[in-house]
Structure 1
Amino acid sequence: MDGKNKEALKEIDRLTAKVDEVQENILKEILTQNSATEYLIKYMKGSKNMLEFKQSVPVVTYKAIRPYIQRIANGEDSSLITSHPITEMIMSTGTSEGKPKLMPSIEEDLDRIMFFVSLITPIMNQYVPGVDEGKGMYFYFVKKEISTPCGLPCRTAISRLLKSKHFKRLAQDPSNDNNTSPYQALLCSDISQSMYCQILAGLIYRHQVQRLGAAFASVLLQVISVLERNWVRFCNDIRTGQLDPIITDLECRSCMSTLLSSPDPCLANEIEDICSRVPWKGIFCQLWPRAKFIEAAITGSMAQYIPALEYYSDGKLPLVSNMYTSSECFFGVNLKPLCDPSDVAYTLLPNMGYFEFIPLGENGTMLMNVGEEDEVPNDKLVDLAQVRLGCHYELVVTTFAGLYRHRVGDVLQVIGFHNRAPQFRYICRRDVILSVDDDKTNEEDLQKSINVAKKLLEPYSALLMDYTSYVDATTMLGGLGHYVLYWEIRFHESSKADNQLANIAALDDKVLQECCITVEEELDYTYRICRTHNKSVGPLEIRVVEPGTFEELMDFFINQGASISQYKTPRCIRSEGALKLLNSHVKLSFISPREPK
């Protein structure tokens, strides 16, 4: 390991050994810089005292800070919330809340982010020597930029990074050629053209690729889908040395012409031979034989995609979830990146922001669900250095850019420590996503229930590719509201849509009915009471949609403002347009055959 990597690991040890001291200094610095802002003056009257901050500044959701952000977006001065000039607004994914949130960003944020990102390779090098050798095939996408009324750019977190001077300098450095995707292809805002060029570049460099990755696991399954539809085109491009005319973006054509400088029929034949085989089990390893791991977020709602990634890698490539980030802040790193996906834990770096926690439960059990609109007493929060092993917390963050005691909405559990820094398992988003009566089902409960039920499909070589849900209060006999799950199922032995539908139709009705009742019996006690004793909730329904439906759902949300790089399938649908799309693709419907035990 070289000196640069060793220094990075030493810095991690230094930060994690002095968590309380680093956090105290961060809060002091934030208050010193921002005490004269309108927001803090309202509560602290110009004081810079940390105790005054904790006693007087309320714990808030985005709803409370949104008016200030909107005023800045309309042209008022950044000093409403921060002493630094706000240079851009960072857009959240927009799929969990229905529309993107805007988070303030300052120039200094990029320095903290680049420091954070610089730690990933040194951490990985401890477990995969030479990780920075060869090439990485990473799929990232920018979203077409919009502006606030006063002209501030609104970008996704990934777009901000790709368009930053830091990344541009690295991407244009001739000595830094360890990524397959040309910089111009990354910056193309036409997602389909960007995706095509990035996959094609990855195929051209197939024998040099050692790392596969994307921000989220779902993006890699999108790559598989595009590859299935276009592999004949890719082979033709490589065989002839000419880019397909469907790519019209001039920058993409320019950069790809360099990679396709001469015909390569041998490479085209290799790829054609691999892609023409059915099924595609292990396709990642076959196309990129030197790959050592797959890097993407696989925690929380992304855990749904682990079986599919394991299928396409034939279980031979470790799934690595390196970092925990959000639009508000970059939080923590995974110091054991090759651990099992179920054991992923993130060590929060105390220099990235000031972190506090709302206690939710002890001994590994959730005892308290603090709703988004519930007021949280100031004295209930605990500092980063005070969290306890096994306990659940909701994360609260204060940043230099103007967020103060902001509830991120993520539920975390402490599962260990590195030096004095706690290591957190990501559990779920805070929000209750399904409720008819007294039942309150959150994302984690739904995920766990479906994980048990989908195992019933395995004997039929079937895989649950994706799912979402909503509460239907209109269609059940007697007017009872009930949970509806939309499932997209794929069969390993076939890649053609018509065959997929035929296989689904051939499934015994009892299999999917049993999936319905299994989900219900895995949900919590209150739900089962509402179903069996109170009779206030109707039987759960699974609606099977045709192949490709969730890809269309993603396109729908992207057209509504979401970004493909940060897209997460919403686990509960609140959009009428999205529901209409899903229902138009339903092919079969199944109802629980009995009440849950």
Structure 2
Amino acid sequence: MDGDIEIKKIYENGMKILEHLTNNAHELQEQMLEEILKRNAGTEYLSRFFSSDQADKQSFKTNVPIKGKYHRLLADIVVKKCFSDLDEGKSFYLYFSKPDMKTPSGLVASPYSAFYSKTNTFKNSLAKFCISPIETILCLDHKQSMFCQLLTGLLQRDEVVRLGSIFASVLARTIKFLEDYWRELCCNIRTAMSLILTGPNPELADLIQQICEDKSWEGVFKKLWPKIKYISSICTGSMSQYIPLLELYGGGIPLVSPSYVSSEACFGINLKPLSNPFDVSYSFLPNTAYFEFLPVNKDGGGKAQETRTIDKPVDLENVKLGQYYEVVVTTLAGLYRYRVGDVLKVTGFYNKSPQLQFVERQNVVLSIGAGKTTEEELSKAITNAKLILEPFGIMLTAYSSYSDSSSTPGRYVLFWELKMKDSNDLPKLDARVMEQCCCIVEESFDFTYKSFRKDGAISALELRVVKHGSFDELMDFYTSKGASISQYKPPCCLKSEEAIKILNSGTVGKFFSPKTMS
């Protein structure tokens, strides 16, 4: 009874904080900027634009240029409102670390997720909510780290009430890893071949083997972790391509995208955790950074759908319902009017704080000549096309693209990784079906693209199907170049020749739309 009263008190206090933040969004934003300028006015960067005694909002907005290239407790409190008994179990969150880097000036730098996992705050609170030993998280060998975290998660399967990672791409990678190594995991459990194990557990090994030997892995998360309440992961933007896969393996377990965070700042939290993962909006938190919003025009109709920003930004309290913006942040850590590159749409307000939906990354486009296709447009086109595969039991598990200008005229090339819904087998590819997918993708593009195709200025779209695990190899490539596995975002449009070469090497089938468009 005392425990229930304490949980209720924590929830009520958390909601009071949330109400205070969102009801006083304007005042808190003003205080945030004032605190940033007070603390950092004497820095080398800001002193280029005004002296310390001129460090006010007007001087900041007039002189500092816009540059471009957590509240975890609150998010958890909102989620707890939707699910009971979360405090009676533990979380199986997959975290990964990576070596620190040094900037040219000698400062140590690392992705936020890697930095946070090394802090005393994380280490001291880890045992309260996460089952993975800190040694498995800090291991710099990602495969060893994932193996040991999965081993720990399976050993404590009856305690797990939440499964998650920062981004959905990590959970997708975990599924593939489990498919490849479940036999070895069972062997370790059966014979106690690990320091994590206190002794042999053949009964558990037999149970996991029985689950994993099933031809269909639909609902495998629920089978392996029977008390799981929800899956927690950011599923917006390029991560949305993994939603069908996670829903398949979750077997009806809610997929929750709790917060909108990046290395630059914590932006907001999802106040409707049970909403459709494709339709999530985030309520902005005014005390985490100073936010400005560049209005974005998204032209349609007779012109190519191209994202353009208008130079003059607006403050958080002045955004308009239904409008698009690119978010700009100023932080205590030393980012000043930094363009994050995310395009957002205002979908509503919670008290005086706006609720925004992630739309796409700014300037991520496929382009041949004057034709341009945005990330949002490409995503919608692929969503339309993959519906053709569903009656055949085929799933699209990952995709990317690039503009191929090696011949004249150039063409768009798509890479798709496919699997059967009820097994891990590579589907038998029917040329007519795949060509129909190509046609639907092209028909979903805008008027300008279709005009160029009809005029012969753009060649027929090409679809390359890659073998199982090709996109894991792509992730390995980017993490070897310094990307954090915890924060890895699959590229919607490839620019790296090396990355294109990796997917080309895994290609098992090529298909084209008709040479001419009607």
Q: TM-score range by the shorter chain?
A: over 0.9
Q: Structure 2-normalised TM-score?
A: 0.95
Q: In structure 2, what is the Cα distance between the partners aligned to 1:58 and 1:324?
A: 25
Question: Are positions 1:531 and 2:456 aligned together?
Answer: no
User: 1:401 is matched with which residue?
Assistant: 333
Q: How does 1:53-452 map to 2 (within 5 A)?
A: 53-62=60-69, 113=70, 116-171=71-126, 176-243=127-194, 257=195, 259-314=196-251, 316-361=252-297, 369-370=307-308, 377=311, 380-452=312-384
> What letter matches 1:335 in structure 2?
L
Displacement after TM superposition at 1:35 (Å): 1.8
Contact kept in structure 1, 2:298 and 2:308, CA below 8 Å: no
Alpha-carbon deviations, 1:44-88, whole Å to 9, x = none? 2431121222122211213xxxxxxxxxxxxxxxxxxxxxxxxxx
Q: Could you tell me which residue of structure 2 aligns to residue 252 of structure 1?
A: none
Q: How far 1:266 sits from its partner (Å)?
A: 1.2
Q: 1:343 to 1:313 in 2, by over 3 A?
A: same
The unaligned stretches of length 5 or more in structure 2 are 1-6
* Paired position in structure 1 for 2:432: 510
Distance 1:50 1:396 in 2: 15
Post-superposition CA distance 1:172-193 (Å, at most 9, x none): xxxx443221111011111000
| One-letter amino acid of the counterpart of residue 37, structure 1 | T
Residue matched to 2:419: 490
Q: Report the equivalent of 1:541.
A: 462
Q: Is the 8 A contact 2:260 2:266 kept in 1?
A: yes
Partner of 2:385: 453
* Residues in 1 aligned to 2:503 and 2:465: alpha-carbon distance in whole angstroms: 10
Give the TM-score taking structure 1 as reference length.
0.82
* Deviation (angstroms), 1:370: 2.6
Distance 1:538 1:122 in 2: 52
What amino acid sits opposite 1:370 in the alignment?
R
Distance 1:551 1:367 in 2: 31
Count of equivalent residues: 509
Post-superposition Cα deviations, 1:478-532, rounded to whole Å, max 9, x if no partner, equal x11110001111112332xxx52xx33xx32111111111101111122112111
Q: Distance in 1 between matches of 2:324 and 2:391?
A: 36
Contact 2:261 2:267 in 1 (8 A): yes
Q: Is the 8 A contact 2:305 2:446 kept in 1?
A: no
Give how far 1:329 is off. 1.0
* 8 A Cα contact 2:299 2:307, kept in partner: no
- 1:571 and 1:327 mapped to 2: Cα distance? 20
Q: Give the distance between the partners of 1:439 and 1:367, measured in 2 at CA.
A: 9
Q: Residues 230, 576 of structure 1: CA spacing in aligned structure 2 closer, same or farther, 3 A cutoff?
A: same
Unaligned 5+ residue runs, structure 1? 63-112, 244-256
How far apart in 1 are the matches of 2:116 and 2:317? Answer: 30
1:106-134 deviation per Cα after TM superposition (whole angstroms, max 9, x unaligned): xxxxxxx3xx1221221111111222320
Q: Report the equivalent of 2:15.
A: 9
Asked if the contact 1:347/1:421 (under 8 Å) is kept, the reply is yes
Q: Is the 8 A contact 2:68 2:339 kept in 1?
A: yes
Aligned partners of 2:375 and 2:492 also within 8 Å: yes
Alpha-carbon contact 1:364-1:413 (below 8 Å) kept: no
Amino acid at match of 1:494: S
Query: Does the 8 Å contact 1:467/1:486 carry over to 2?
Result: yes
Map of 1:469 onto structure 2: 401
Partners in 2 of 1:402 and 1:239 — Cα distance?
52
Report how far residue 440 of structure 1 moved: 1.4
Q: Give 1:105's aligned residue.
A: none
- Which residue does 1:90 correspond to in 2? none
Instruction: Identify the residue that residue 55 of structure 2 maps to in structure 1.
Output: 48
Partners of 1:329 and 1:352 within 8 A in 2? yes
Q: Tell me the SS of whatever aligns to 1:347.
A: strand
Question: Which residue of 567, 576, 580 maps to 2:501?
Answer: 580
1:567 maps to which of 485, 488, 499: 488
**1:211 maps to amino acid:** R
Distance 2:167 2:90 in 1: 19
Cα offsets for 1:204-243 (capped at 9, x unmatched): 0111111000111111111111111111111111111222
3-state SS in 2 of match to 1:222: helix
31-40 or 301-310, larger mean C-alpha shift: 31-40
The residue aligned with 2:3 is: none
CA distance in 1, matches of 2:286, 2:403: 40
Partners of 2:197 and 2:120 in 1: how far apart?
Answer: 28
Which residue type is aligned with residue 456 of structure 1? I
Instruction: Tell me how large the CA RMSD over aligned residues is.
Output: 1.9
- Following TM superposition, the consecutive aligned residue runs of length 4 or more in structure 1 with deviations greater than 6 angstroms are 362-368
The whole-number CA distance in structure 2 between the counterparts of 1:383 and 1:347 is 15
Shift in CA distance, 422/363, structure 1 to aligned 2, threshold 3 Å: farther
Between the aligned partners of 1:416 and 1:520, the Cα distance in structure 2 is: 33
3-state SS of paired residue (2:93): strand
Change (3 A) 1:234 1:306: same
Deviation at 1:406, TM superposition (A): 1.0
Find the residue that maps to 1:38 and give its secondary structure: coil
> For the residues of structure 1 that align with 2:285 and 2:300, how far apart are their CA atoms?
23
Letter in structure 2 aligned against 1:347: S
Structure 2 Cα separation of the partners of residues 168 and 178 of structure 1: 11
CA pair 427-356 structure 1, distance change in 2 beyond 3 A: same
1:321-366 Cα shifts (integer Å, max 9, x gaps): 0011111111111111111112211011000010010111499999
1:481 aligns with 2:413: no
2:366 maps to a residue whose letter is L
SS of the aligned residue for 1:163 comes to: coil
* Mapped partners of 2:293, 2:517: distance in 1: 36
Post-superposition CA distance 1:410-460 (Å, at most 9, x none): 000010111010000010101132111221111111111000001111111
One-letter code aligned to 1:532 = K
1:564 corresponds to which letter in structure 2? I
**Residue identity in the other structure for 1:526:** T
- Identity value in percent: 44
In structure 1, distance between residues paired with 2:504 and 2:179: 25
Q: Which residue pairs with 2:4 in the alignment?
A: none
Q: Deviation at 1:37?
A: 2.1
Aligned partners of 1:517 and 1:595 also within 8 Å: no
Q: Which amino acid aligns with 2:441?
A: V
Which residue of 2 is the match for residue 25 of structure 1?
31
C-alpha separation between the residues in 1 aligned to 2:378 and 2:493?
Answer: 10
Q: How far did 1:368 drift? A: 6.6
Q: Report the 3-state secondary structure (helix = DSSP H, G, I; strand = E; otherwise coil) of the residue aligned with 1:518.
A: helix
